[in-house]
């Protein structure tokens, strides 16, 4: 008899009670919250959460209360929905902090799909991913995470996919083409057909020396992805997005002046990161965290010293460079305001 997969990572942190009344209330609230979010995106034309029906024990795996994803008119949410509808899988590429993981959670919530998440950069064994027998003999089999997704459906999210082990990629290939099944060699070569609502999204950083361990996706998997979406930061260099400033202002609780200063610093640091001069480019979330410290009474430079500066690097020289960039941007902002 198969046991419940011990490797499942539920994305909804609130525990759904076994009592049927409480479970019904929880699911109703989830649908209500998701309805508000769905008004922001033209997503139903591709995937409708009303069409997705999963067992009660999988409801807690459906993301909840995911913040909106802001872009510069690229309509990433709808394009991912289209890719999943037409091809059942797609790939997201972009530097760290551009919101790739965030948008996968958002798409899962909008579609009403459980999330099965794997970080390919971790030393996860094939047994953890596909399954194994426990104890003596062949009486007790436990499905691995990928096998559970294949049987039950949802979104399989492979983060840092260009760090994936080759033996894992090879076993995935039959699932991603017209065959649509996996051969579970670990379990007497059992053939498991892919669930009709089993979708896959992979994400990765660009292959470069700065991302240790990355390598090009092998040609067989690359052909099977069908759709590739490139992500970038909202604000980079002198190109600053007003929507990002507004988000930092609202989420961080700071003034419009401080929010603009924080975003302009972030944009400059991202430019330096993309040029290879510093090891990290801040995400929108990093800037919001910085703003929250400032909203509690710290100055913008003081807030940076508690958040952004040490986050960028442990190297004192790099930290001093970040402080220098912050100082220059703030001085430039102050000079611009004086002219006005």
194: domain CATH number is 3.40.50.300
CA distance 34 to 105: 12
CA distance 305 to 308: 6
Together in a domain, 175 and 286: no
Together in a domain, 156 and 267: no
Nearest CA among 226, 174, 238, 170 for reference residue 201: 226
Together in a domain, 209 and 68: yes
Which domain covers residue 334, as residue numbers? 242-339
235 belongs to a structural domain: no
The share of the chain scoring above pLDDT 70, in percent, equals 85
> Rounded to 5 degrees, what are φ and ψ at 203?
-135, 155
pLDDT digits (tens, 9 = 90+) for 219-275: 888 888 889 999 999 999 999 999 999 999 999 999 999 999 999 999 999 999 988
Q: Please check whether residue 108 is in contact with residue 58, taking contact to mean a CB–CB distance below 8 angstroms.
A: no
Please list the pLDDT of the chain residue by residue as tens digits (340 residues).
444 333 333 444 333 333 333 333 333 444 445 556 677 888 998 998 888 889 998 999 999 999 888 887 899 999 999 999 999 999 999 988 889 999 999 999 999 999 999 998 776 677 788 988 887 777 788 898 999 999 999 999 999 888 888 888 888 899 998 999 998 888 888 999 999 999 999 999 875 544 445 577 888 888 888 899 999 999 999 999 999 999 999 999 999 999 999 999 999 999 999 888 998 899 999 999 999 999 999 999 999 999 999 999 999 999 999 999 999 999 998 888 887 6
Whether pTM exceeds 0.95 = no
Nearest CA among 273, 268, 214, 230 for reference residue 94: 230
**Host H or E run for residue 155:** strand 154-159
Nearest CA among 266, 274, 249, 281 for reference residue 325: 266
1 belongs to a structural domain: no
12 belongs to a structural domain: no
> Residue 12: CA atoms inside 13 Å, Cβ hemisphere, count?
22
170 belongs to a structural domain: yes
Residues 6+ apart with CB under 8 A from 81: 43, 45, 46, 47, 107, 110, 111
Q: Token pair for residue 297?
A: 């009474």
CA distance 116 to 98: 21
133 belongs to a structural domain: yes
| Domain end call among 230, 254, 269 | 230
Together in a domain, 217 and 250: no
Together in a domain, 104 and 198: yes
The number of domains in the chain is 2
10 belongs to a structural domain: no
**Host H or E run for residue 199:** strand 198-204
Nearest CA among 221, 234, 154, 230 for reference residue 194: 154
CA-based torsion, 265, 266, 272, 275: positive or negative = negative
7 belongs to a structural domain: no
CA distance 53 to 339: 60
- Please name the residue ranges forming H helices in 15-99: 20-38, 76-87
| Domain end call among 230, 250, 272 | 230
CA distance 14 to 153: 21
Together in a domain, 50 and 150: yes
Together in a domain, 40 and 177: yes
Together in a domain, 203 and 305: no
User: Which string of DSSP letters, residue by residue, matches 110-150?
Assistant: HHT--EEEEETTS---HHHHHEEEESSTTSEEEE-HHHHHH
Together in a domain, 199 and 255: no
CA distance 235 to 17: 43
| Domain end call among 230, 253, 278 | 230
Together in a domain, 312 and 200: no
pLDDT at 4: 39
Together in a domain, 248 and 224: no
13 belongs to a structural domain: no
CA distance 86 to 92: 16
Together in a domain, 214 and 256: no
């Amino acid at each position: 008899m198969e046991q419940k997969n011990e490797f499942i990572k539920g994305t909804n942190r609130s525990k759904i009670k076994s009592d049927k009344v409480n479970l019904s209330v929880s699911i109703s609230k989830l649908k209500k919250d998701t309805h508000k979010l769905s008004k922001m995106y033209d997503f139903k034309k591709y995937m409708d959460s009303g069409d997705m029906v999963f067992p009660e024990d999988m409801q807690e795996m459906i993301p909840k209360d995911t913040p909106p994803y802001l872009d510069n008119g690229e309509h990433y949410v709808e394009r991912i929905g289209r890719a999943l509808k037409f091809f059942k899988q797609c790939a997201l590429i972009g530097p760290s902090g551009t919101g790739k993981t965030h948008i996968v959670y958002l798409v899962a919530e909008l579609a009403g799909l459980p999330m099965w998440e794997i970080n390919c950069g971790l030393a996860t064994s094939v047994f953890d991913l596909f399954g194994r027998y426990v104890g003596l003999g062949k009486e007790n089999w436990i499905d691995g995470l990928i096998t559970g997704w294949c049987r039950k459906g949802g979104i399989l999210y492979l983060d840092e996919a260009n760090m994936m082990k080759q033996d894992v990629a090879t076993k995935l290939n039959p699932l991603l083409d017209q065959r649509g099944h996996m051969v579970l060699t670990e379990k007497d070569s059992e053939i498991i057909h892919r669930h009709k609502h089993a979708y896959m999204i992979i994400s990765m950083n660009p292959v470069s020396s700065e991302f240790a361990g990355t390598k090009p996706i092998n040609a067989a998997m690359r052909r099977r992805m069908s759709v590739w979406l490139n992500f970038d930061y909202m604000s980079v260099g002198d190109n600053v997005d007003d929507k990002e400033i507004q988000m930092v202002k609202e989420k961080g609780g700071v003034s419009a002046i401080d929010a603009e200063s924080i975003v302009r610093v972030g944009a400059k640091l991202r430019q330096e990161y993309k040029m290879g001069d510093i090891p990290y480019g801040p995400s929108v979330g990093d800037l919001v965290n910085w703003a929250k410290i400032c909203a509690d009474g710290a100055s913008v430079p003081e807030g940076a010293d508690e958040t952004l500066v040490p986050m960028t690097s442990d190297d004192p020289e790099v930290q001093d460079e970040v402080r220098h960039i912050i100082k220059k941007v703030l001085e430039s902002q102050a000079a611009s305001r004086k002219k006005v």
